């Protein structure tokens, strides 16, 4: 059980590393190069779409890390099942049609918590972007 908890801790750390590196790259790209208060509606909309794509790709990489682990440890019968289970667990959909073997079952809740936290971090980032794009703009000069 200790080795399984250690595996969970390593997977959690990898998930956080991927998320921080990914969201930092998106943050730098979006906030440095593209945020202009005078931008038109469609350029802002296109920026939001691209940002959503980037965030989803980051989450898919994180799901893949968990799926590869499940597949490598033969927790599930095939790679498709491993990735499917990782996806429904990470997103906390949790259909329950696949379950981990008894010795690995503690990883499911850890992955679910990791997914909740990483989605929350992405939501905060996305909220900051949308607030910057569509929030009240500061006017220069006296009122």
pLDDT, one tens digit for every residue, the chain (143 residues): 899 999 999 999 999 999 999 999 998 887 775 556 566 788 888 888 999 999 999 999 999 999 999 999 999 999 999 999 999 999 999 999 999 999 999 999 999 999 999 999 999 999 988 888 777 765 554 55
CATH topology of domain 2-134: Helix Hairpins (1.10.287)
CA-based nearest residue to 27, from 105, 134, 128, 138: 128
Q: How far apart are CA 142 and CA 1, in angstroms?
A: 66
SS3 label, residue 77: coil
How is the chain split into domains, by residue range? 2-134
Yes or no: say if 44 and 133 are a contact pair by the CB < 8 Å rule: yes
């Amino acid at each position: 059980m200790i080795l399984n908890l250690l595996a969970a801790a390593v997977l959690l750390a990898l998930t956080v590393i991927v998320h921080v590196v990914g969201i930092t790259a998106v943050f730098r790209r979006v906030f440095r190069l593209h945020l202009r208060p005078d931008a038109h509606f469609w350029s802002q909309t296109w920026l939001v779409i691209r940002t959503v794509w980037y965030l989803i790709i980051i989450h898919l990489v994180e799901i893949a890390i968990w799926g590869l682990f499940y597949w490598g440890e033969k927790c599930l019968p095939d790679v498709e099942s491993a990735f499917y289970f990782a996806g429904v667990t990470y997103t906390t959909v949790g259909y329950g049609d696949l379950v981990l073997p008894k010795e690995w079952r503690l990883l499911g809740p850890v992955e679910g918590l990791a997914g909740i936290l990483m989605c929350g971090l992405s939501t905060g980032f996305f909220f900051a972007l949308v607030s910057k794009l569509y929030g009240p703009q500061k006017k220069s000069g006296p009122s």
